[in-house]
Structure 1
């Protein structure tokens, strides 16, 4: 059964500010995060919010088969998959073609769910070079991180991703043991996690 807005313990603050939008540009959202952190689960939640009804999704799978895209098909207007490579490293032509096709007939928001190895700034640079931002406005970027990674210590590459994100979503806090939780709370006070962090726990 699909989750309702009030079933979840976290909220997304002002996901798209109309005052920031450039007229006639389509809002584009990036969902990135470490492997296994719960990016698709977070995207499932986002697509159920009224702001994102009718959105289109580009699901990037590093594997050659679509593993998670089917979970989004009932929630998004269109779900398209880029499989077999990381979208920030591969040729930009397939992504460009998909985005141009999306905005040709509808101003509906578009989400790109990146692989767990993608680099947000590389993806943004690719979109700029492809002149996609003539048609799109980058409305917000989300970074999803597992509470256990915070407990273990965040990898340097992921710290860079956290700094680049507009919103950080922490998942799986409810899976921490009592002994782990105290150390986790200390780690969660790291400067990289103080900016726009929401905790998306039990229902994700």
Structure 2
């Protein structure tokens, strides 16, 4: 029997409904004994989650740094370091009794995150892999704009390609023709993923949490995205837009500002 903690990776492009879904999940009794890692630098910070929950009279209490226990029994913490460090910290706090026991973990990423590095950490890092197991990758897709997003944005396409479950959101705002076209597009990118039509973030947690859907062997097409270094250097725990790249040039001696200024001006004039 596998005693590792099952992890649900929740991702989806900007504005696809992750915040709404996460808030509904946090209030569901089926989410008791669940820890949720929220990317504080993303669109959904812990304060935002708490504000929405407090509107529903859900009480909460701070039990550790960046960690809050909701009345529903769901444990929320914010991602302030690298993802691997956060996962280790959660496990050790759990083992020491600093936070309540949790049976499962949900990781919410930003809308522009590439899920590959997080998946790579869960699959390839010995310490993380011996403690946690990737249970399912759940991706939210906007029923109106989703087809355009996966066509124009590599991040959205990557998210769909590695999904085990695709949640087509805001279906009350889309026409049947739009939904059907989107489903066809998603099936072309990832025929093996389950698809659910949802509105207002309502779904039974049993359909997406602790379902044992992830299979690394099934991920044949997107395997190259999982080969990224598992120790991500960014603060967000996942790579972001590849439209912005960086490189380093090491010079043998200091460069004077008089030499640098005209080059910077040229870059500004020739983006």
Question: Alpha-carbon deviation of 1:153?
Answer: 4.6
Question: Alpha-carbon deviation of 1:133?
Answer: 1.7
TM-score, reference length from structure 1: 0.71
Partners of 1:35 and 1:76 lie apart in 2 by 28
Partners of 1:31 and 1:163 lie apart in 2 by 14
SS class of match (2:144): helix
TM-score, reference length from structure 2: 0.55
Matching of residues 122-137 of structure 1 within 5 Å: 122-127=117-122, 128-129=124-125, 131-137=127-133
When the two chains are superposed, the root-mean-square deviation of aligned CA atoms in Å is: 2.8
Which of these residues, 27, 36, 39, is aligned with residue 6 of structure 2?
27
Question: Alpha-carbon deviation of 1:148?
Answer: 2.1
Which of these residues, 132, 137, 143, is aligned with residue 139 of structure 2?
143
Q: Which runs of 5+ in 1 are unaligned?
A: 1-20
Alignment match, 2:210: none
Distance change in 2, residues 1:168/1:102 (3 Å)? farther
- Answer whether contact 1:27 1:110 (CA < 8 A) is retained: yes
SS class of match (1:37): coil
Distance change in 2, residues 1:129/1:66 (3 Å)? same
Question: Alpha-carbon deviation of 1:163?
Answer: 1.6
Distance change in 2, residues 1:125/1:31 (3 Å)? same
Q: Deviations over 1:80-133 (max 9, x none)?
A: 1125xxx7xx46323431244346652511111111122212112133326212
Distance change in 2, residues 1:193/1:150 (3 Å)? farther
Alignment match, 1:18: none
Question: Alpha-carbon deviation of 1:79?
Answer: 0.9
SS class of match (1:132): helix
- Answer whether contact 2:33 2:102 (CA < 8 A) is retained: no
Distance change in 2, residues 1:148/1:193 (3 Å)? farther
Alignment match, 1:160: 158
Question: Alpha-carbon deviation of 1:147?
Answer: 1.1
Distance change in 2, residues 1:153/1:91 (3 Å)? closer
Q: Which runs of 5+ in 2 are unaligned?
A: 54-69, 203-271
Question: Alpha-carbon deviation of 1:184?
Answer: 4.2
Distance change in 2, residues 1:80/1:134 (3 Å)? same
- Answer whether contact 1:27 1:137 (CA < 8 A) is retained: yes
Distance change in 2, residues 1:104/1:117 (3 Å)? farther
Higher CA-based Rg: 2
